[in-house]
Every structure is written in structure tokens, then in C-alpha cells.
Amino acid sequence: MKKILLIPSQSFPIPAVKGGAVETLLTQLIEENEKNKRAQLFVVSKDDEEAKKFKFDYSKIFYFNKKSSSFGFSVICFFRKLIFNRLTRRIFKKAKYGFRELNYFGYRCAKIAKKIKPDIVVSESYDHVHRLWPLVKLVGKDNFYYHLHYTKQEVLDVRKMMPNTIAISEFVLDNWAKDKTIGGRNVVLYNGIDLASFDCKLSADDISLLRKSFSLNDSDFVVLFTGRLRPHKGVLELLRAFNNIESNDIKLILAGDFLSESKEHNIDESEFENKCLEIISHNKNIIRTGNVDYKEINKLYFLSDIQIIPSMWEEGAGLVAIEGMASGLPLIITNSGGMPEYTGKECAIILERDSNLINNISESILKLYSNKELREKMSQAVRNRSKLFSKEHYYQQYMNILLGEDEKGAK
């Protein structure tokens, strides 16, 4: 049985007890591997007491504490960055990261890899991929994969060192693998979710009770946004568009936290947050839920009529679109990155990110609100298309790629 080492970012723990899209995907991989037993998985995770309670037969999770770095190692890293990286940046002027940056995370991953001797290593995050060069040396270029979960422009020194790429959409892959002379394997693997969790089996009475818990009437038309409340997610544009809608029968549910509330990063987005909160506080038809546990998020889909994903950046392809499709919700999205690849034209109203976007969002919401026949047609289309994105298919194709059993790719 092959040993596969998975190295995600250290934003959230695994299993995904604190959420996170990549963490959710990896948790699903672990769970599916417990059933199918195609490989022995090893995962490096952010330290978390709740996550440590889970036990698996075919997966071992190494929990990493950033504070555990020794003083001596910190001194070594400091001088390496101060002297060695500055020197190599002058020699290799096109190198984005110096020659090879060393930090404690990369050091610990290398120690783990030497201990378990993996056959294959997958970097599930761009943030530290350039720090994992010792693992490339350990397993060889052919057995090291870089899994691109979001759009990144090509960085040649990284690609040459780590040429095998798994991308979540054609758009993501095209942006990363532009130089076709570089060897390696580049494939597209579309994301997958637990479709059954988003297939509503509630009765009309149950849905009515669920709506009442959010102070919604049965007659209300509910627009759903789920995700982190960040500028690049188009939240302010959505709020401004919704403010233009005068009907009291149309409600907007905002599920997610602002950056200041999640306390993930030391970034000041107060101006953006204040603008959003100003609109929310003066519009009684906007309902904020805050962060919702992933195990409970499907309930928001069950009580909603449509979903909106107004991304302003090049969205690689988030999981929320698949969740909405699995729930039968017609979509309004922006022409962003790989999103249209996932939804297709029959499942979504696709809007350009131009000066008319705010008005077009308002008009698209009103169009679906007033056209039940169109909603029903789109609802059937999204349910059919969602079958392409099951967690079972995702697991099998993921393993096929790594184990060399699917030379044609994974779409």
C-alpha cells in the first residue's frame, strides 16, 4: 500500500472541525479512504484539541504547533533569510522566493517525511510550497504534486522544482502552466462534496419551521450568500445591489464572518466592514447569521430559493457553487475564474464584473423572483449537473492521479 503525505496550509485543522474549503476536501479524502483503503495517508495539520479526538485506521495526522520552533532554529532561519536569500535574490533576480527559503514548518515536514518515507507527497497550499524542496529531493520530482486550489500566476522557479500540478479548474491550470516546455504532469480535478448532505429531505412543514427560526415567512423569497465576508468576495457589491430592491418579500441571508471577527489575520479591513455594516443595519431584509458550522450549513440551503456568488477576483472554483447545485438552487455568479466551468450556462445567470454589476445583480435577483418557471428549469439543471461533483468520484480520481491509474486526467 502506497504512503501519501498531504501538506495543507496551517490555517485550519484537519479534520475540518473549524471549517475551511481545502480542509473539508482533505477530511472527505480521509473518510473515503477509510472505506476504500487505497493508500496510507499522512497529513500535517494545525494543532487543535478537538481535531485530535478523531481516530482513523488508514490515516495518521501530525499536528504542528508554530510556537514549538526552537530559539536556535529561529536564529538560523533569520540569518539565512538576512544573508543567504538576499544574496541569491541578487544572483537569481527572477526568483520570487530567493533560492530556497527555509523555515521551521518546512524543516518539520522534512523530518516527518524522513520518518515515514512516503512514496508520494502533495502540497495542498501555495503558501509554503517553495519551502518543501527537501521533500522533492526525498521522493523525486515525479512523485511530488502541487495541488492548486486557487488561481496563481506561473512562477517558473517553483514549476521547475515541482512540475506536477493538480488544478481545480482549467482556468487555474491555464494560469499556472503557461510554459509548455516544462515537463511534468498537469491535470484538472474538479472538487467534490458530500452530495447527500445537501439533498433536502425535509417536509414542507419542516422547512416552514426552519424558516421561522430565522424570522422568515413561507412567502419570503430568500437569496443566500455563504462564505467569508471579504472585499474580493463581492459582498459590498451584493449589499449595494440588494439595497436597490424595494420588495419586502425578498430577503438576503449572509452566512459568514468578517475578517476582524474570525481573527485569522492581522489585516485592517475596517473601512470595508464599516460600509457593509452600515447597509446591513439599515436594511431589515438582510439577515446575518455569522459563521455557521459546516455540519449545519446545509439548512441554509434548504430554506433558500436562490444562491448568489458575486466574486470580484478570479475564483478558482469554490465549493459553495457545488453545494448550491446539489441543493437545487438556481445560481447568480460572476464570470470569475473557473466558476462558469462548474456551473455551465443552464445552471447560472453569469454576470460580468463591470460598472453595471450592481444593477445587474439587482435585476437578476428580481428576474428569478418573478419567474417561477425559469427557477424550476434551472433547479432541475443544477441538480443534474451536481452529480458530476460527488466526494466518491473526487476520491477515486484523486487516487487515480497519484497512483498513476488515470493517465487521461480527472475531469
Instruction: Give yes or no: residues 283 and 352 share one domain.
Output: yes
In a domain, 411, yes or no: no
DSSP assignment of 135-171 equals HHHHH-GGGEEEEE-S-----HHHHHHS-EEEESSHH
Helix (H) or strand (E) holding 334: strand 331-334
Q: Are residues 216 and 243 in the same domain?
A: yes
357-370 and 235-243 helices cross at what angle (nearest 10)?
60
| Within a domain: 97 | no
251 occurs within a structural domain: yes
Answer whether residue 309 is part of any domain. yes
Assess if residue 349 is contained within a domain. yes
Nearest to 243 by CA among 290, 294, 298, 282: 282
pLDDT tens for residues 359-394? 999 999 999 999 999 999 999 999 999 999 999 999
Q: Are residues 156 and 119 in the same domain?
A: yes
Give the mean model confidence (pLDDT) for residues 142-166: 92
Give yes or no: residues 176 and 236 share one domain: no
- What is the pLDDT at residue 368? 98
Report which of residues 408 and 198 the model is more confident about: 198
Q: Check residue 290 and give left, alpha or beta (phi > 0: left; psi -120 to 50: alpha).
A: left
Residue 77 included in any domain: no
pLDDT of 261-271, one tens digit each?
A: 876 566 779 99
- CATH number assigned to the domain comprising residue 185: 3.40.50.2000
Distance CA 346, CA 385 (A): 9
Question: Is residue 409 one of the residues assigned to a domain?
Answer: no
57, three cell numbers: 485506521
pLDDT of the residue at 94 = 43
Q: Are residues 161 and 221 in the same domain?
A: no
How many structural domains are present in the chain? 2
CA distance 132 to 377: 48
Write the burial class of residue 266 (CB in 10 Å: 0-12 exposed, 13-18 middle, 19+ buried): exposed
Residues 370 and 396 in one domain: no
Which residue shows C-alpha cell 424558516?
211
Domain check: are 166 and 224 in the same one?
no
232 in the same domain as 144:
no
Let me know: does 169 contact 188? Beta carbons within 8 Å.
yes
Query: Would you place residue 14 in the very low, low, confident or very high pLDDT band (cuts 50, 70, 90)?
Result: very high
Give φ, ψ of 33 to 5 degrees: -70, -30
Instruction: Answer yes or no: do 273 and 294 share one domain.
Output: yes
Instruction: Answer yes or no: do 350 and 398 share one domain.
Output: no
Which residues touch 404 (CB under 8 Å, ≥6 apart)?
A: none
Residue 113 lies in a domain: yes
Query: In which domain, by residue range, is 180 found?
Result: 3-68+103-192+390-402
Return the amino acid letter for 307: Q
154 & 211 share domain: no
- Can you give the pTM of this predicted structure? 0.87
- Nearest by Cα to 330 from 380, 399, 295, 259: 380
Tell whether 236 and 206 lie within a shared domain: yes
